[in-house]
Amino acid sequence: MKPSLAKGTRDFTALEVSRRRYIINILQKNFELFGFQPLETPSFENLSTLTGKYGEEGDRLIFKILNSGDYLKDVKELSDIINKQDYSKEQIDRDLQMVPSHDNIFSNVDSKKLIPYISDKALRYDLTVPFARFVAMNHGKLTFPYKRYQIQPVWRADRPQKGRFREFYQCDADVVGSESLWQEVELVQLYLKSFSQLNVSVTIHMNNRKILSGLAEYAGITDKLIDFTVALDKLDKIGKDGVVKELLEREITQDSIDKLDFLFNQSDDALENLLQLKEKFAGNETGLKGVEELEFVLTQSVNLGVDIQNLVFDITLARGLDYYTGAIFEVKADEAQMGSIGGGGRYDNLTEVFGVKNVPGIGISFGLDRIYLVMEELNLFPEEATSSVEYLFANFGGEETLDALKLINQLRENGISAELYPENAKLNKQFTYAEKKGIKNLAFLGGEEIKNNTVRFKNLETGEQKTISQQEFLA
């Protein structure tokens, strides 16, 4: 069998793992500087936990896990399903007799109605819903506001393409138990501090779900809010014409679309755009509340030293997740053609579906894989992001090998990476191994060096050779 990878997944080499760790270490350090505590949740959840939280399109991308065992064994139960599909008993019996494996029973059945019978678990789609489940389960044990960060993989049955994978990492920071808009301001700072340390120039695009609700009310399509936001969220992918076409397909009238035409002609001045909205939202309580909240976050961020050029009020930003109720964030790299490399928002009602009310929350996510691609494209990884062995000791065989290992152990005690070439091979072969592996220095501990208590080593980058005392070498 020819080995292959499942689509949308990747192997990571030593270099890639080292660079990913470099990004993670910076994010983790900043999460903790801002007071967030670590949390990990299982890779899979009950299917009921995940479904209905991401909107119609998101639900379709959930990777479902097939139940173990012979889930097709109970023909009577499956016959009941088929009966609900207007199958006659005679048809069922005939199919059962003709096809012992029962495969054809389902040829005309809506497969979605079979899901509860063959799958009750799924790989997590994101880290936010599992976090909300955790908060609901541990509500009485947590100290609020509760701040957590989480760095783990998630899975989506999406179509693989550049920057979009089926298995990828999310790096989330969330606060629950506080309605304060200062949390939004802090998360803006967290974003900018982290990307600054990664040397990635970014712009934070911002909107507010209440503004989107206000727009729906303004256009008379309150009952089509989800349809409206799902279509609007695709603007950067399908353009204005594509959005208009999808709105019409979702049965939103041309008159309503005409009212919203100003959305596609915004100025670069965020505060000017907010002022325009205030005029249109006269008497629109929800819309005005959204404008007020966004204005606060923008103003206070600037007051804390954030460059207004790093913040964009993007009125078309929708992020098609049903659970957002307030602020919405999306981060884009300034110097690379990549989708969002971060995003998030406020979700004041998410724990209610788990039976726990009045737990407001807000969170942001860093897209590790896309950040990596941006940094790779722009050549932003520093030398320290590469993990390599400092010293390779040549193997001369005999007693020299034991002495070399003793010296290697002392280097390791001092936190310096070193290894011994495993075989007494020709030096050319050992040189080649060191060069291919990117080892910085090749060390020699032969009879002469042992006698004089010295060590000789060659820097494979510069070609420089030195012989120094072992004491100095270990210092």
| Residue whose tokens read 């029962």 | 102
pLDDT of residue 110: 60
256-290 per-position pLDDT tens digit: 988 888 888 887 788 788 888 888 898 899 999 99
203-252 per-position pLDDT tens digit: 999 999 999 999 999 989 988 888 888 888 788 788 889 988 989 999 89
| Residue whose tokens read 């660079």 | 19
89-123 per-position pLDDT tens digit: 566 556 545 544 545 555 555 666 667 777 889 99
pLDDT of residue 236: 77
Mean pLDDT, range 301-318, rounded to an integer: 91
Q: Is 230 helix (H, G, I), strand (E, B) or coil?
A: helix
**Average pLDDT over the chain, rounded to an integer:** 88
As a 3-state breakdown, the chain gives helix, strand, coil percent values, each rounded to 5, of 45, 15, 35
Domains of the chain from N-terminus onward: 14-61+120-377 (3.30.930.10), 67-118 (no CATH), 388-474 (3.40.50.800)
412-465 per-position pLDDT tens digit: 999 999 999 999 999 999 999 999 998 999 999 999 999 999 999 999 989 999
Q: Could you tell me whether strands 202-208 and 311-313 are parallel, antiparallel, or unpaired per DSSP bridges?
A: parallel
- Per-residue pLDDT band at 352 (split at 50, 70, 90): confident
Q: CB under 8 Å to 431, separation ≥6 — which residues?
A: 442
| Residue whose tokens read 């790299």 | 333
CA separation, residue 434 to residues 217, 369, 438, 458, 463 (Å)? 67, 30, 6, 11, 13
pLDDT of residue 323: 72
**Model pTM score:** 0.83
